């Protein structure tokens, strides 16, 4: 077996290869002046190949995978597993306006056609309960970093109140709170635009409490910023943030700081300076189980 990775996710690739006790090789990339990609994979490949590719900033990476997967098979791979710690397009899970593509379905199907199995962490499963609803049953394995994040928070801020900003965060926040024996509460959110969200946070007492906002991802950061501003206005002693996927696009990070957020922590699904929680221990048994399947 071999792990194939990319240079911009080298650290996680190295950690994963060490934990799996397997060789790691990088897929070399060149971008031609016209924007096309040239990929070079190691040749030959063993029968079992795991490709690590997070799908933050997804569009170029999807094309990479559409080229890399069939090439890996041509070079000898018989069983091909994609580890995509962050799986993009999962929030586009319904036809919000007439004619709008339900991209979640199509991207999941596309990947399932290229790979024998896919492992991901905290995909945004909101209107569907499982990846089985968008790809052949059993082909997609969704793990959660919620417990790891909960335990990390409990170590950093003993007695913290965990708050999930919106209904869909309830699944992660309740799991994190149970694992770390912390209080938790869930708010409600209405999104009016990419960076325009209105939040209604739970009425419970936050005055004097150390609050940690927990969510699956931060993109523009506006969800967390809106929540942090309300909590600090209501007298929270401190507001920290913990997310699985540190997308933090545009000015998200400085804007969070400006809103009064103290610490920002994330798992290392997406390489980012806020990475504090290692997901390798989650991935390890899942990869072993998938590779052991007949």
The residues of the shown chain that bind ligand R5P, judged by CB under 6 A, are 91, 124, 165-166, 168-169, 197, 215-223
CA-based angle 151:281:278, to the nearest 5? 60
> Across 21-160, where does the E strand assignment appear?
24-26, 28-31, 37-40, 48-52, 79-84, 117-121, 140-143
Minimum distance from residue 216 beta carbon to ligand R5P (Å): 5
Our CB check for ligand R5P shows the closer of 48 and 120 to be 120
> Among positive and negative, which fits the CA dihedral 42, 289, 121, 100?
positive
Catalytic residue among 43, 61, 189, 198: 189
Longest Cα–Cα distance in the chain: 62
Our CB check for ligand R5P shows the closer of 157 and 227 to be 227
Minimum distance from residue 172 beta carbon to ligand R5P (Å): 9
Nearest one of 61, 67, 49, 62 to 116, comparing CA atoms:
49
Helix H or strand E encompassing 135? none
First-to-last CA distance in the chain? 15
Q: Which residues contact 70 (CB under 8 A, 6 or more apart)?
A: 114
Our CB check for ligand R5P shows the closer of 15 and 275 to be 275
Our CB check for ligand R5P shows the closer of 48 and 220 to be 220
Minimum distance from residue 259 beta carbon to ligand R5P (Å): 12
Minimum distance from residue 28 beta carbon to ligand R5P (Å): 33
How far, in Å, CA of 182 to CA of 154, rounded?
A: 7
Q: Which residues contact 133 (CB under 8 A, 6 or more apart)?
A: none
Contact 118/139 with Cβ under 8 angstroms? yes
Our CB check for ligand R5P shows the closer of 16 and 184 to be 184
Annotation marks residue 198 as catalytic: no
How far, in Å, CA of 44 to CA of 76, rounded?
A: 6
Minimum distance from residue 168 beta carbon to ligand R5P (Å): 5
The residues assigned a catalytic role are 189
């Amino acid at each position: 077996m071999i792990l194939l990775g990319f240079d911009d996710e080298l650290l996680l690739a190295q950690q994963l290869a060490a934990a799996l006790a397997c060789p790691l090789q990088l897929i070399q990339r060149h971008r031609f002046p016209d924007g096309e990609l040239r990929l070079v994979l190691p040749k030959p490949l063993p029968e079992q190949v795991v490709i690590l590719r997070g799908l933050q900033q997804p569009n170029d990476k999807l094309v990479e995978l559409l080229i890399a997967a069939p090439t890996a098979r041509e070079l000898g791979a018989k069983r091909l597993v994609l580890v995509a710690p962050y799986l993009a397009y999962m929030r586009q899970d319904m036809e919000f306006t007439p004619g709008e593509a339900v991209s979640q379905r199509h991207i999941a199907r596309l990947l399932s056609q290229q790979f024998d199995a896919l492992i991901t962490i905290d995909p945004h499963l909101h209107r569907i309960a499982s990846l089985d609803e968008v790809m052949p049953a059993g082909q997609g394995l969704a793990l959660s970093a919620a417990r790891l994040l909960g335990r990390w928070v409990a170590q950093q801020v003993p007695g913290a109140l965990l708050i999930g900003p919106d209904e869909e965060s309830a699944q992660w926040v309740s799991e994190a709170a149970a694992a770390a024996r912390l209080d938790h509460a869930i708010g409600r959110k209405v999104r009016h635009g990419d960076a325009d969200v209105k939040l209604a946070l739970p009425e419970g007492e936050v005055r004097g409490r150390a609050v940690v906002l927990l969510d699956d991802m931060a993109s523009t950061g506006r969800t967390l910023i809106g929540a942090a501003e309300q909590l600090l206005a209501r007298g929270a002693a401190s507001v920290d943030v913990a997310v699985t996927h540190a997308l933090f696009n545009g000015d998200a990070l400085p804007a969070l700081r400006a809103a009064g957020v103290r610490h920002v922590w994330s798992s290392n699904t997406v390489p980012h300076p806020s990475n504090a929680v290692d997901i390798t221990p989650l991935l390890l048994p899942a990869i072993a189980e998938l590779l052991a399947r007949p």
